[in-house]
Amino acid sequence: MKLTGEVIKVRYVNEENGYSVFDLNTSDGEIKIVGIFDSVNIGESLEVEGEFTYDNKYGEQLNVSSYQKKLPSSTVEIEKYLASGIISTIGPKNASYIVKQFGKKSLDIVFDETDKLLEVRGIGKKSIEKIKKSVEELKFSKNILFHLTGLGISLSLSKKIYNIFRENTLEVINENPYKLIKNVKGIGFLKADEIALKNNLDKNSPYRIESAILYVLTQKAINFGHVYYPKEKLTNEVSKLIGVETELIEPVYMNLLLSSEVVIDNSFEESNIYLDYLYVSESYIASKLAKMALNDDFKILFDIEKEIKEAIKSLSIKLSKIQIDAIKSCFEENISIITGGPGTGKTTIINTISKIYLDNGYNISLCAPTGRAAKRIEETTGIEAKTIHRMLGYIPSSYDDIGHFEYNEDNPLDTDVIIIDEMSMVDVVLFEKLLRGMKDNTRLVIVGDVDQLPSVGAGNVLRDLINSKKIKYTKLVDIFRQSESSNIIVNAHKINNGQEPILNEKNSDFFFLKTETPAITRNVVVDLISKRLPNAYGYDFSKDIQILTQSRKGICGVFELNRLLQDILNPKTETTDELLVGNKLFRVNDKVMQTKNNYNLSFFDSDGEENFGVYNGDMGHIIFIDKSSKKLTVEMDDNRVIDYTLEDLDNLELAYAITIHKSQGSEFKSVIIPMFDGYKLLQTRNLLYTAITRAKENIVLVGDKNVMNNMIRNNTINSRYSNLENRIKHFYGLVEELL
């Protein structure tokens, strides 16, 4: 069936794939049209071909298989077309004047004899030049978009590419499509490589090899936390990835070195390849710590022993000898580290240190890597705490996701002491930024649990600092008396020491429910969060209970559990607003989590000031959905209200169940952990330990007891390629020699 008509109403357009629904006014009346279109504008004339189908909800509609845009022929249609804004500087007023002057020849004049528009009232030479440029671009862009979509690029992505490269688009695509990776959000190496090969680029092209090297290095940093990768291993993996002989890869390293994309480091026995920024971070950390540690400008002008005694009395606390020694180190050393498991008094020590410094007129700053961790330390100490980003005054960038900080080497923080909690979560890049914002004579107190999982980002900073043996380090091992009654804390230490936990004691807070299969495990987990725990303890299933699981996939993984729990805990109703984004369905009141740092998302604080940043692991609830604009609003647990656009939603997920890795720095009243046989590399002691230490009031493990015992026995710590420990030793030696 062929029809010709004018677009009179656009009902829906999917920007990603071009799927459109609109009304076409034809000689047979108004027809509903559905199909894939490069663009649809009211007033356009189309010739469409397709078949009529019947939808139970929407009725009869023409499903289009092909179409052709036709320029309008009547003066009314021509005026509508020109008034649509499709051509620069021609709006409704100029459109009316043009049609009045040239009638049905108006489009011929605009497209082919543009200079004649000088005869039209209100159009001058400057306008003529803009119109010419707009007409050329209109013709050109159509051809380019057609070419890009022919390479398997979605319409929305094609438009993004064209908007960035404009007239150079085809040149970039033909010569080096890997430029798209840096310039176009949504295109990574694999997509760029697909485009390149479809466009018949030489598979041995240096551009291809360079991009593959950078891709593998980036993946190693993101997925495995490696700061560098051994050159030999990297070469072999790149060769395998793109099917290129290893001898062709070797010369390309020099190209990347000369362009400052990578650093080739031979300092420590073998040849290692760094992404440039990670090398800078690692080197700067080591050099700055050495300078700070040996700086003698900071003077303590009070009796430390006396102040500790007075603080103990004022705070009504009891401290062990090792705790007192830890506190002393924070006044005797420029840099000190305090680490320990739950219930060992880390917060008490932070309180004591803070009080003594404040009472003696020193400025202190408390910080943590995430909003949840900062909020928790602020609640327990009564002292304001900020995220590291907020403390350093993060300023977003309009052209990338990195931005910069108000406080840096040229403008350091005006504070005497910085105390950072949850240090195990801090990666090399963030620690570098923190150190750049500190004066050399600022005291640094580092607090964390070295037995927790390492940071999501690259590096293993806390462990490397300790292993260097250059920084004063105190490990707290004794459990406070008030914590001994909690089997959560007792069992956390047992597990950390490789011992079986105490299970299912009467009046206990630590339970194990045995199940026979993963399917039964899943069903019990769902029953616990939806019925049993809320009924038994009065918990709010959304705010108080958190499911922590090993992996994202599988019958007890994040995806499956969230799918089930959304329908059970927040079911669809006639009044519930919801939004489908790809394969993700969001509803008002859904529990959600940010899965990647987005430093450019803005929000207004309680003082009405605009701030920026939502971070990996931040959780909250959807409070509003605007289906027409495909936006939703989330109120985070720390009361920040953040508006998400369609693009931002890539990094928002349901959070009734989350991975254990994503729970770092958080605490929940009740935690449920499915115990199922899965990915062996994830089934480690420190993973289980991290999960257990997230619970404040009770914890329930569900599943196979053998899995739990195997995790306890598996004390494998997945090593990360990092030379921070060696660099600290090296720089400390250099500074000591100079002194």
What are 130-140's pLDDT values in tens digits?
A: 888 887 777 66
pLDDT at 199: 87
What are 673-705's pLDDT values in tens digits?
A: 999 987 777 789 999 999 999 999 999 999 999
Task: Please check the confidence at residue 295 and state whether its pLDDT lies above 90.
Answer: no
Q: Is 598 helix (H, G, I), strand (E, B) or coil?
A: strand
Tell me, yes or no, if the pTM score tops 0.85. Answer: no
pLDDT at 18: 73
Q: What is the mean pLDDT of the chain?
A: 89
Task: Please check the confidence at residue 601 and state whether its pLDDT lies above 90.
Answer: no
Q: Is 527 helix (H, G, I), strand (E, B) or coil?
A: helix
Task: Please check the confidence at residue 468 and state whether its pLDDT lies above 80.
Answer: yes
- The one-letter amino acid at 137: E
Question: Rounded mean pLDDT of 350-375?
Answer: 92
Q: E strands along 138-237, which residues?
A: 228-230
Please give the residue that has the higher pLDDT: either 159 or 329: 329
Question: Rounded mean pLDDT of 323-347?
Answer: 93
Least confident segment among 260-264, 329-333, 367-371: 367-371
Tokens 């003529």 appear where? 128
> What DSSP element (H or E) covers 18?
none
Alpha helices in 124-168 (DSSP H): 125-150, 155-165
CA dihedral 708, 712, 713, 716 (to 10 degrees): 120
pLDDT at 477: 87
Phi and psi based region of residue 333 (left: phi greater than 0; alpha: psi -120 to 50; beta: remaining) = beta
**Residues of the chain by 3-state class (helix, strand, coil), percent to 5:** 45, 25, 35
Tokens of 487: 């089997």
pLDDT at 163: 80
What are 47-99's pLDDT values in tens digits?
A: 888 889 887 766 889 988 877 777 777 888 788 778 877 787 888 888 898 99
**Interior angle at CA 246, CA 242 and CA 248, nearest 5:** 85
> Percentage of the chain surpassing pLDDT 70?
96
Confidence of residue 183 (pLDDT cuts 50, 70, 90): confident
Task: Please check the confidence at residue 541 and state whether its pLDDT lies above 80.
Answer: yes
Helices 487-496 & 685-692 angle (0-180, nearest 10): 170
- The one-letter amino acid at 531: K
pLDDT at 606: 67
Task: Please check the confidence at residue 400 and state whether its pLDDT lies above 70.
Answer: no
What are 339-357's pLDDT values in tens digits?
A: 999 989 999 999 999 999 9
pLDDT at 423: 96
Q: How many helices (H) and strands (E) does the chain have?
A: 26, 30
- How many whole angstroms separate alpha carbon 483 and alpha carbon 480? 5
Question: Rounded mean pLDDT of 519-523?
Answer: 95
- How many whole angstroms separate alpha carbon 635 and alpha carbon 625? 12
In our burial notation (b when 16+ CB lie closer than 10 A, e otherwise), range 387-402 reads bbbbbbbbebeeeeee
Dmax over CA atoms of the chain, in Å, equals 96
Confidence of residue 337 (pLDDT cuts 50, 70, 90): very high
Task: Please check the confidence at residue 263 and state whether its pLDDT lies above 90.
Answer: yes
Please give the residue that has the higher pLDDT: either 308 or 599: 308
Least confident segment among 5-19, 267-281, 283-297, 557-571: 5-19
Comparing CA positions, the residue from 36, 29, 18, 39 lying closest to residue 60 is: 29
